[in-house]
């Protein structure tokens, strides 16, 4: 997809509206200090912790709004954080590609889909703020040089197709262009820089931070401690805590070290924890989302995840014990993850279900070749061979495929009410491609509470903590019980841009 202007003109955001005995990465708690007790090593204008979607977008927007000295600090040796390895899926309502494909959508419709997935506890005001400015954030990625597949996807829980995906089918297709844009406009970036705590003024205002520079992940005493003052405040864009096994088990004891995770090792949550110590409101920490598109046959996010996300709308998920479908393949993530976890053998042991797709349709996504090449997926020329390989009863499987193909023909799924729009003319027929499914911990809905200015709220006063902003997965309460896929990138970028505007107006 060539570089285009989605807005017709620049129109950025207006009106700032560990399990015991298990060796795992866990944060060493930072300690905040008083400004009167420290000697500053450096002073900057805008200070950003974290180099994912939120941090990069904030740096670019702050520079566009006149900031001359913007600094990003990243704990890991590489930039992009967890954002670089996510699926590269970006949802936005009212885009030119929707118009080209005849898709009717709106901010209200996108918000309604998210509220439904959130099971009544999502933050409607924040969801509307993000949806209202999602196209502006998408435009930022295009301005930076991001490229997308020339088609839209309809992900689980979305009532219409509204999701772009990067041409490289991962988040690096956005983080790398944004990072290059930061370099071009003079943003200073620092890797191997670990946040160690806030530095507070007499009135409790966050005046700066304590950083450990030259840090090696896992070696907590490595590097040199420095104190950095920030003229306009501090933005925490430090991501979630999915790799902090002790913390996630405190919220959900079933999420042990045996449960896989799609996140980078650095997603341990110490920035969030220090904001709690400062007085931030903890919201929805127990709502930790698992990705129903993941595979037990590869580590991390892998190749199967994006393969499955693309193919779910025109595929069938089969319980290997019964040979029958067991879920709506494009329901929201929690609904599908729970359904997959219920797939068990006669002894109650996990029996990962399979996703069956016609090869002629699956090969439209570039990951299909990789899934087959690296033996995390299979290709079969006959249903008999498929059933034998996975020990699925053939007769009910054959009947199920015949029944589903009738739904493709009629456009109505009488089993699970699946939206069949993207399944039109895509029958399940040989040759087949198959992957196994099993959820992996992917996203933490919980974090600190923020308002539509990206200000962090104080738990005692309900007012913003002066000088402190947060954006991205480190924030909580926005999505509720279950986040819809492709909604994290617009959230991170819009809230990062929002924080930048707030800092520049403060």
Positions marked catalytic: 333
Partners of residue 48 on adjacent β-strands: 72, 235
Burial of 5 (0-12, 13-18, 19+ CB in 10 A): exposed
- Copy the structure tokens of residue 306: 């994006």
Nearest to 360 by CA among 313, 430, 275, 266: 430
**Pair 41, 230: CB distance under 8 Å:** no
Long-range contact pairs involving 108-115 (C-beta distance under 8 Å, separation at least 24) = 109/159, 109/160, 110/134, 110/158, 110/162, 112/159, 113/157, 113/158, 113/159, 113/484, 114/479, 114/480, 114/483, 114/484, 114/487, 115/480
Helices (H), 103-171: 107-117, 124-144
Cα-Cα-Cα-Cα dihedral of 493, 494, 496, 502, to 10°? 160
For 208, phi then psi, to 5°, come to: 180, -165
- Copy the structure tokens of residue 467: 């000088």
DSSP letter at 48?
A: E
Q: What 3-state DSSP class applies to 496? A: helix
Which residues lie closer than 8 Å to 281 by C-beta, 6 or more apart? Answer: 448, 449, 457, 458, 459
Please give the angle made by the CA atoms of 459, 460 and 464, to the nearest 5 degrees: 65
- Which DSSP helix (H) or strand (E) runs through 324? strand 324-325
């Amino acid at each position: 997809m060539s570089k285009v202007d989605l807005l017709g003109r620049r129109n950025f955001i207006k009106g700032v509206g560990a399990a015991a005995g298990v060796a795992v990465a866990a944060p060493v708690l930072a300690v905040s200090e008083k400004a009167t007790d420290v000697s500053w090593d450096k002073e900057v204008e805008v200070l950003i912790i974290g180099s994912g979607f939120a941090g990069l977008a904030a740096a670019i927007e702050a520079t566009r709004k006149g900031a001359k000295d913007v600094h990003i600090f990243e704990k890991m040796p590489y930039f992009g954080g967890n954002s670089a390895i996510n699926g590269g899926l970006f949802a936005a309502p009212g885009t030119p590609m929707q118009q080209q494909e005849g898709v009717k959508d709106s901010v209200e419709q996108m918000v309604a889909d998210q509220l439904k997935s959130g099971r009544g506890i999502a933050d409607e005001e924040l969801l509307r703020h993000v949806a209202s400015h999602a196209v502006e954030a998408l435009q930022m990625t295009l301005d930076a040089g991001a490229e997308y597949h020339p088609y839209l996807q309809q992900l689980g829980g979305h009532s219409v197709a509204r999701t772009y995906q990067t041409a490289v089918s991962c988040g690096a297709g956005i983080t790398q262009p944004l990072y290059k844009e930061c370099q071009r406009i003079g943003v200073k970036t620092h890797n191997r820089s670990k946040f160690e705590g806030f530095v507070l003024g007499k009135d409790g205002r966050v005046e700066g931070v304590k950083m450990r520079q030259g840090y090696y992940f896992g070696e907590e005493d490595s590097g040199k401690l420095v104190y950095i003052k920030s003229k306009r405040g501090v933005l925490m864009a430090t991501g979630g805590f999915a790799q902090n096994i002790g913390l996630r088990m405190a919220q959900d004891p079933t999420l042990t070290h045996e449960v896989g995770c799609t996140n980078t090792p650095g997603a341990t949550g110490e920035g969030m924890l220090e904001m709690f110590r400062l007085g931030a409101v903890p919201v929805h920490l127990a709502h930790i989302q698992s990705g129903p598109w993941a595979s037990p046959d590869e580590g991390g996010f892998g190749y199967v995840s994006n393969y499955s996300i693309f193919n779910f709308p025109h595929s069938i998920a089969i319980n290997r014990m019964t040979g029958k479908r067991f879920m709506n393949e494009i329901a929201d993530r929690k609904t599908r993850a729970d359904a997959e976890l219920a797939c068990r053998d006669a002894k109650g042991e996990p029996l990962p279900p399979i996703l069956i797709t016609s090869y002629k349709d699956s090969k439209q996504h570039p990951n299909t070749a990789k899934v087959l090449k690296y033996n995390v997926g299979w290709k079969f020329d006959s249903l008999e061979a498929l059933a034998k390989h996975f020990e699925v009863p053939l007769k009910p499987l054959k009947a199920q495929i015949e029944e589903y193909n009738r739904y493709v023909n009629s456009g109505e799924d009488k089993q699970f009410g699946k939206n069949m729009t993207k399944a039109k003319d895509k029958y399940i027929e040989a040759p087949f491609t198959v992957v196994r499914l099993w959820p992996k911990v992917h996203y933490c809905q919980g974090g600190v509470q923020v308002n539509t200015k990206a200000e962090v709220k104080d738990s005692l006063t309900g007012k913003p903590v002066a000088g402190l902003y947060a954006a991205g997965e480190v924030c909580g309460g926005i999505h509720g019980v279950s986040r819809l896929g492709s909604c994290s990138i617009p959230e991170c970028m819009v809230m990062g841009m929002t924080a930048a505007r707030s800092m520049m107006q403060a």
